[in-house]
Each structure stands twice: as structure tokens, then as C-alpha cells.
Structure 1
């Protein structure tokens, strides 16, 4: 007799997973706009702390079913710009990139940190292929919280670039990252900014909403307060340079590909792409910026 299939959603919760408040509102309902797999997903928002989260949340089986991947493709230029933010600090001996995928970020960062050993963590076998290709010194398949304690206090830098939004428990990921850091080491984080004005203007078509792949959207003040409460020093925050100019082009792509106009989509998407890049220098300095970066230093013991 076949076993009963496991549920793909957790029970719907009536409180905020970040602050515990029961003052929730529905931020949006969305199908899988990217891959068009069945289902409608709800993102709720806390009226008190502004944390946004998928509710009900996908179970691990649901994540496997929808093939949720954490690595986001960025240009080499963008990856180098992110790595360059660590140049003011002492050159790290060891660096762990979490959710590294094909290790595009360590590959770019090596150009600036030639004496640093780069390791990577990813739930997929791609991380092993990246090590075989020479992009990583060590590859770890799995989720960082499950790889402790053998990675405890091994790294001078731990980076999580557009990773936390894909995780079922961001706080557990932060705990694991700080555990993997040596005292005085740095945590480098980049996340989509749920307070971006584009989120309101574009709604479900805004690419960081990206259901069902994004489980949590964490406002910068929440993340900063969380790390300070854990004894970290916030050494840098930036809402300007992490902005990625693709809000309009991605929204146009997602919308037009679901309509009879999809055959005429390429010119419209090209126009939206050009507009994204034309407006980016100005929008990145306003509430339309779509991402933020935070660098925190772990306290010395």
C-alpha cells in the first residue's frame, strides 16, 4: 500500500514569524508567474514590523516540488562591485559563500582577493561541479544550519547574497552564519528591499515577490536590529549600489508572456530594459531602490 503523500504547505499561521504580532494583512496573491506551475500563493505582511512572508509556507517537500533555487544570476560587474565592498577590511584568509549555486560570486571575488580561500554551500550538486571547475576550494552540499559544527569558527567572511529570502527560517540561517564566522569576522548580506516603491506599483509582477520562490522579505531595520541584538556591530548599510535595474523589464516579461501579446513582447521588453537602465542612476537613490546590503562584524570574545 502506498504511503500518504506529504503536504506541500505548512499550516497557515496567524502571527508574524519575525515579531509574533497577530496584526497581519494580505500583501498579495500570486500564481507561479515564472514557471506557470499550478497553485496560488499568498504573501502576508505584518502591520507592526513590516516583515512579509509566504503564508502558508511551502514545506521542504513543497520546495522540492517547485524546484526552488536560491542562487540569482548577476553580471560579473555587479558581483565585483559587491566583492569590492569588503576591500576596506583586512584581506580574509577564508570566505564562505552561502547559496552559492555555480559559484559565480566566488569566481568574481577571486579577482580582488587572490590569497583568499573560497568555500561554498548550496543545497544542489552545482556546488560540487563549481569546485571541480576550480571556482571553490571546498564544496558543501546541504543547508548551512545542518553543516554545523564542522564549519564552526572557520571563516573570516560569510556572504549570503539574495539567499535569506529563499529560506524557510532566516533566523536559523543567521545563527549558522555567525557560528561559522570567527570572532571579528564579517557577515555580508544582500536582500531585496520589501519597502521599495516598485513593490507597490508593480504588485505581483515585481520580481522580488517571485512566488513561490521567495518565502520571506525582510526590511532592513528588522535585520539590522536582529544582528545588533546578537552582539554584532553594523559597519555598513547601502540601499543604492545593490539596486538591480530589472523591475520594469521583468514585469513586462512576466505579464506579456501570459497574454496573447507574447508574440509582440520582444520590442516591449527591450524598451522596458532600456528604461530600467536609463532610470537606474536616479531610482537607486530613491525609495524605488529594490535591494539593500548590510555588513556586520561579529563581536570578538
Structure 2
């Protein structure tokens, strides 16, 4: 008889073993994941007697549409032990996840690995949306050795901003006086404005530090330098994660995600998951 519960500490070893058997990640990665997320996330589990045979992780993040941020639960690492598949375990795990999202007024987001999974999740009520994420992998550490961060003069910031945005019709040019006001206002509110010169490229960023998170409100940077810029900012401020609110027309990587909305009618063209872990 299968029964369901949120994961107890006594199940962690079984969860790690199930993850290892289904996804094949290294034991070190799996253990680090649970050490980071178990106190923060929700782990739904299916048990056959005392054996954990299914799992679904709900990771709390923040989503942002055009109007305001709201809570998001990212559905991650759903797995059912091979000898227990075909019994409706996955369906029940997602039914419970949907109920939690409804209770919390939190949208559920996931990224299906293939088309059959898209079809499966559509049966659960998910719909496909574009979303934009920022990856931290792929930068060259050597490039950071030559990078320089500085607080910009308005005219210098305006030049970098206009160079990056001159092909985007929704972005108007800020004259130096307007930009001076924006930068001063941001600084008075505890935010920061920085220029980064790295190799041949100049980057500009506006943002605010909130605890161990950097919240970027504007990013003017060539795509090839973004990863290095993010790493440099995280190191400079001693933060663990970075969130970026940018127009959906930007060239940030876009993938097809699926959403089960509970926080309101989120426009499909401007959905963002904003995490960098």
C-alpha cells in the first residue's frame, strides 16, 4: 500500500539512493543538494511500507511577471523507482504539489526534458511558457583577473548603456542629467551602480543587495561577458545568489518551461524564474 508524506530526516539516505539510481549524478552532488535544500524546500515522497519509492522536490524561488514579484515553487527531480512505475505515483505527487501551490498562492514551474514529458505535464494542467535564466557555468576565471569594477560617472554609464541597448526599441536614451538623478536615487536607497571593464568590453549594472542575494534591476552587458560579470559581482558582495529582472526581449538564454499558475494570470510573454544558485 503506497502512502505519501513530506520527507522526514530519516528518509534522506533513501532519497539520495533513489536520486543516484534514476539520475546518475555523483553522490557528492546529491548530498550537497539535500544539505542546501532540505531545510528550505518541500520534498513530497511516496512510500511502500518503509521504502521510499517516489519523490518530487518543490524549491521555493521568486517569480516576476510585468506587475510584481510573487512566490514560485520549482518542481525538480521527480522520480519513481522503476519497479513501482505505472501505479499513478507521479500523478499523485503532482496532485499534492498543485494543492500546495494553491494553498500558498505560488505558481509551479518546471522544465521538461523531452516532448513526452511535455505531454504528461499538460495532463496535470501545466502550460508552456518562455522563461529566462542566468547560468553561472562557462566563464573563464582568467578573464576575471583583468576585470575592473568601478562606480560610474553618469556620462560613462550612459555611453555603455546606449551602446548595449541601441538596437532595442523599448529602451529610451537617458541623458546624463536624468541618469545622474537615477544613480543618486539608487545610491540613497542602498543600491549600487557599477561599470565593469573586461578585455575589450564594458558592462554596466544597477542593483541592490538584499541579504545574501544581489537583485539586478538593469544589465547592460554583452552576452559573452555576462557569466564573468555575475561571478565578479557575487564575489565582490559576498553573496550566494543573483536575481536579474530584465525585459523579455533581451538576449538572455530562453528555454521552454511549463507553469501551473496559482498566483494570478501571468502573461506568457514575460515570465521569469530569477534564480542563480
Which fold has the larger relative contact order, with Cα–Cα distance below 8 Å and residues 6 or more apart in sequence? 2
**Comparing both structures, which one devotes a greater share of its residues to strand?**
2
TM-score (norm 2): 0.26
Instruction: Choose 1 or 2 for highest CA Rg.
Output: 2
TM-score (norm 1): 0.25
